[in-house]
Amino acid sequence: MALITSAPFILASASPRRVELLQELGLSFSVMPSGIDETYCSGETPSAHVRRISQAKATVVAVDNPEAWVLGADTIVAIGGEVLGKPKDRDDARRMLRRLSGREHYVLTGFTIVRKSVSVLCRKTVRSTVVFRPIEEDELQWYINTNEPYDKAGGYAVQEKGGLFARRIRGSYSNVIGLPVSEVFEILKKIGAIRFNGCIYDRPG
């Protein structure tokens, strides 16, 4: 029994984490990064930002692929009103991880699913809470000298070495990685974008 899509499916993102999460579902899809400007707008809240960026990513790709289902997503880390993007260098990574050390922070992902030919646009924002244990200085120096922090929001990857710092996660774990798979799957199934090929089941009664 296979998971199939009702039309071509496109991930409008270059994130290897999102690619891996969708591949784990057995989904067949193409990857087409949108290349949009992800700069914050003045006065924009974190949740408003991820909603806007995810919709922009999906819409840009959908314009040239109107028959396809297009998924756009954006993930940020927020703590104490500050949004932590991807570290620019070791000093920036060190600053971010010291900010997160021993504290609670939020990971927000906005995702949008678009299919232009049938005028479908669905979007949702998912928030997870992550609590870090205090990070010792030798651990910090070790971590920033790996390649791991520098293409991740907040400077860490919870599914890799950075998971050593996470004491608790409330909410979607895959959201912290970069895509809330359960919520995405639920919407894709609801709008008819995916189905199970060869699925036979007994009806109640």
Is the pTM of the predicted complex or chain greater than 0.95? no
- The ranges of the chain with pLDDT < 70 are 1, 198-205
Type of residue found at 11 = L
Is residue 151 part of the annotated active site? The answer reads no
- Secondary structure class of 7 (helix, strand, coil): coil
Residue 198, pLDDT score:
66
Catalytic residue among 74, 91, 138, 151: 74
Pairing of strands 69-79, 104-115: antiparallel
Alpha carbons 10 and 113: distance in angstroms, whole number: 10
Structure tokens at 148: 């791991």
pLDDT at 199: 56
